[in-house]
Structure 1
Amino acid sequence: MSVVIGVRIPKKLKEELEQLGIDYAREIREYLQRRVKEEKAKKLAEALDKLIEQTIEKDYSTSWIREERESRS
């Protein structure tokens, strides 16, 4: 299923697109699809960075606590 999105552009730009044979509807669709893909990848990378950071902090805390306990023995 698809929906229609309206975009206002200068008349001169539309004329130039048509003169050059550029399928602007396809160009806009492809651009929006690419942007969605980029944003999803960015959010995934941020989530992975956060997970890695938490894991590193947890591992550091665990090893630090272990060292402290062993030094007291």
Structure 2
Amino acid sequence: MSTVISVRIKREIKEELERQGIDIDAEVRKLLEELYLKVKAKEYVKKWIEELNEVKPSDEGFSVSSVREDRESH
């Protein structure tokens, strides 16, 4: 599903862009889609940070003992 938006710009800008062969509709659509992706990425990062802040840190020395245990099991 899609929706329509309209934007007003100076006539001279529109005419120059068209004269240069630029597809204004496609460029605006591309810009808005990229902006959407950035906003969604920012939301996901914020959510991940919040979730990571709730994770209890490992006990000191856990990684050392875990690696040692793994090595010795082979």
TM-score by length of 1: 0.73
Task: Determine the structure 1 residue equivalent to 2:65.
Answer: none
Corresponding residue for 1:13?
Answer: 13
Partner of residue 49, structure 1: 49
Structure 2: runs of 5+ lacking an equivalent: 60-74
Q: Which runs of 5+ in 1 are unaligned?
A: 64-73
RMSD between aligned residues: 1.6
Runs ≥4 residues deviating over 2 A: none
Q: What is the CA–CA distance in structure 2 between the aligned matches of 1:7 and 1:40, rounded to whole Å?
A: 23
Q: What is the Cα deviation at residue 32 of structure 1? A: 0.6
Task: Work out the number of aligned pairs and report it.
Answer: 59
TM-fit CA distance, 1:54: 1.2
Please give the TM-score of this superposition, normalised by the length of structure 2: 0.72
